[in-house]
Amino acid sequence: MHTAAAAAPEARTLDDLPGPRPMPWLGNALQIQRERFHQQLEGWAGEFGTPYVVRIDARKLMVVADPEVIQGVLRARPDGFRRNERVETASRELGFLGLFSANGDTWRRQRPMVLAGLDPTHIRQFFPALLDVTQRLQRRWERAADSGTPVDLQADLMRFTVDVTTALAFGQDLRTLEADGDDTIQKHLNVVLPSLIRRILSPVEPPAWLRRWRERSLRPHLQVLGDAVNGFIASTRAQLQADPSLREHPQNLIQAMVAARDREGSGVTDADVAGNVFTMLLAGEDTTANTLAWMVWLLHRHPQAAQRARAEIDEVLGGAGTLSSIDQLHRLDVVEACAHETMRLKPVAPFVIAQALHDTLVAGVHVPRGAAVVCLMRPGGMNAGLFPQPETFDPQRWLDAKEAGHSFASAKRATMPFGAGPRMCPGRYLALAEIKLAAAMLLANFEVESVEPLRGRDPREVFAFVMAPERLRMRLRRRSTARAAAA
């Protein structure tokens, strides 16, 4: 991909591309099914090849699936492409314009303070607290196993990720894993997230007065979340006042952000701090929790892979039920391979929308300024040339690739679970640590009797803010109980 002031003579235009047949005026808007939009995009890619175009009223969305083309688009951010402006507008109006949704100078201003709080060094320092939250999840699941109560898998995993995120990023221990009922912060996040994606994917951007009317039901949820965010910030200011050394040596992300806000000439605003607190809650909860949910389901469906992962965990832990150091976590190569294979087959971010900041060429097609390029993330991972029998869940492929070195890098460039380029997900180290810890705890301590949706055997893929399995129920029994029964 390269940028040009005008289209090269041989370049195709968006009008030259194939795509689903549009209706007059509306284009393909009435064909879009929001909950399975990612599958529709993938299906059209199979039918028309890529690039192709989807028309929504007067807008044309160019869809690409080639990993090399996607790499070029993602690496051209933030100067050549930006987040879709609807994401930024909706996030600003709802009060959480953070690093994920910001563009331009706002993104550049926020990026250093967020990256500093999520680097591997901070994850290592935080490991004891991360382990403590994992042990809370274990105790919760032990109670479910002992009582024969099915586990609401996604709900529990979201409690887990929220407790991790708030403790690491904000120094606040919400302990939602120990709360009963559905009156936790997830209750409010689970209302706000679907509303955001509906707004982003709406075929027509409604006028401001209509948006406010439609979103009136969000106000109580946004109020609760806003109060929580303001509470985190107020608590942090008190900590910095009591111990000024924390301004130079912050212990968590929010301390770093507030200290940056107060530094003369930083350009960081109160809105930047609040927006990134919101963003951490929203993005940190859904993506990791749903990747874990897919991984648990896939391991249950593939008992040989689960048994191999369990054998590695037992060896690393020496028969103990819990990890004791981050070095043990780094030795869980099979578990990490299971995570990569899950993200290849079930990417929770199945597409990325980038908006051209100026006229450019993408895959030999002239993309005018303001047009959107939709990057499909799953097809690259289904390439039989890179991934033999791509429909099969086979973690061994990642172990073989890692041993080969260059093959592992090629595989990751094809799948890009955390994106690519300057806007690669800053929380990737934390996400992998959470995934490996939760999976190790589950396999070391429990036998999974079943994982299934309320209806049917295979969960549907449901696209809301992320691509999630429909609600899964899991039944567990303790491994010691299983061994005693077998004896």
Q: Which residues are annotated as a binding site for heme?
A: 425
User: Using the 8-state DSSP alphabet, how is residue 35 labeled?
Assistant: G
1 CB-side CA count, 13 A: 25
Based on its alpha-carbon atoms, the radius of gyration of the chain, rounded to whole angstroms, reads 23
The answer to whether 252 touches 231, Cβ cutoff 8 Å, is no
What is the distance of C-alpha 295 from the center of its chain?
A: 14
Tokens 């303070």 belong to residue: 113
Q: In what order do the strands lie in the sheet with 2-3?
A: 2-3, 360-362, 365-367, 12-13
Q: Provide the annotated binding site.
A: 425
The answer to whether 4 touches 359, Cβ cutoff 8 Å, is yes
What is the distance of C-alpha 205 from the center of its chain?
A: 25
Neighbours of 204 (CB within 10 A): 10
The answer to whether 446 touches 137, Cβ cutoff 8 Å, is no
Compute the C-alpha angle 90/197/377, nearest 5°. 115
Beta bridge partners of 12: 365
Q: Are strands 360-362 and 365-367 parallel, antiparallel or unpaired?
A: antiparallel
The answer to whether 28 touches 55, Cβ cutoff 8 Å, is yes
Please give the Cα distance from 76 to 421 (Å, whole number): 7
- Six-digit token pair at 420? 């690519």
Q: Per DSSP, which regions of 297-415 are E strands?
A: 351-356, 360-362, 365-367, 372-376
